Amino acid sequence: MFFEGAEKKLEVVLSATSPSLFEKDRSFWEELVAKSKATILSELSGPNLKSFLLSESSLFVWKDRILMVTCGQTSLVDAVLFLLRELGKENVDCLFFQRKNEYRAQMQPTSFLDDVKLLREVVDGTAMRFGRLHSNHNLIFHSNKAYRPQVDDTTVEFLIYDLSEQASAFLTGSGLSKQEIRDFFALEKVLPGFEIDDFVFRPYGYSLNAVNDDDYYTIHVTPQQRSPYMSFETSLPITKAEQGILNHFLEILSPGAFDLMTFNCPTTFDFTHQDYIQVVHSKEKLSIGYDIHFRSFYKRQGQPEKPYQYLE
């Protein structure tokens, strides 16, 4: 069974004079999510941050900011175009649209460059690729309008490939409960203080949103043998002390490879792990104030592996 775990992501920051996004009712978010061909599964509502768990990933809403992540065969660009129309592009101070390289790009409704063409009809922006086209990479389109991010506006994306056989075996087990998966990752221990909203897909797959005041983290697991993948993303700055969180996931999943992509998060630059070697490091300081680093790591060579056999 194949499922496309690779994510698409949008981030929109509104101007200070825009009305609060908390004034929008649920039907607005339902419509937004439907534009990308996903649906809302559940919701957490805090005073500073609303979170929606989606049939394909996550939506987070602050009073002046939206973050939406979708995977599978969704068309996130249509959600971006909807937002620009509904909120008024003049009220958007900063727009990011991002796509990770897909496992099977030929199954996507559009390519990144198709999306960029549509976005450029509405927004003046820059498109770039971090990482190598032949291998893991992340594609970013951002608005060119002058902008200065808040000091605490950091993002860490931790993209984890080739989960170990043991981890995949557990995560594809039948009848797993939410609590069993939370316990497997020891989430409440390593990331205390967060309210959690999670969902176990059938036959397998797991999504989680967690919020704490205006911070979030989100986890999406695609454990199937053909494309074993997990993403962890957070607004936490992952300080030196918090690098233990990344090591914690590496210990549990013992993945064959991972990418670490950070936005304004210099405290992650010294992240290394004795079992992994960095093979790509692509970086850029954008004119709109974000310092982006993309780093790809592979496990130091162990035993040769068998090829994957396609039985259908």
Residues forming the site for its own copies (CB under 8 A):
101, 103-108, 111, 113, 116, 126-130, 132-136, 140, 161-162, 226-227, 229, 256-257, 277-284, 292-294, 298-299, 301, 304-310, 312
d(C-alpha 218, C-alpha 206), whole Å: 11
Q: How buried is residue 307: exposed, middle or buried, by Cβ count under 10 Å (0-12/13-18/19+)?
A: exposed
d(C-alpha 162, C-alpha 208), whole Å: 20
Q: Nearest approach, Cβ of 121 to its own copies (angstroms)?
A: 14
* Residue whose C-alpha is closest to residue 159's, from 25, 58, 86, 261: 261
Q: Nearest approach, Cβ of 170 to its own copies (angstroms)?
A: 21
25 vs 312, beta carbon nearer its own copies:
312
d(C-alpha 138, C-alpha 37), whole Å: 22
C-alpha 178, offset from chain centre: 20
DSSP secondary structure string, 26-58? HHHHHHHHHHTT--EEEEEE-SS-EEEEETTEE
* Residue whose C-alpha is closest to residue 204's, from 190, 184, 234, 233: 184
130 vs 232, beta carbon nearer its own copies:
130
Q: At 7, is the secondary structure helix, strand, or coil? A: coil
Q: Nearest approach, Cβ of 255 to its own copies (angstroms)?
A: 11
Q: Nearest approach, Cβ of 26 to its own copies (angstroms)?
A: 35
Q: Nearest approach, Cβ of 197 to its own copies (angstroms)?
A: 28
d(C-alpha 264, C-alpha 4), whole Å: 28
108 vs 209, beta carbon nearer its own copies:
108
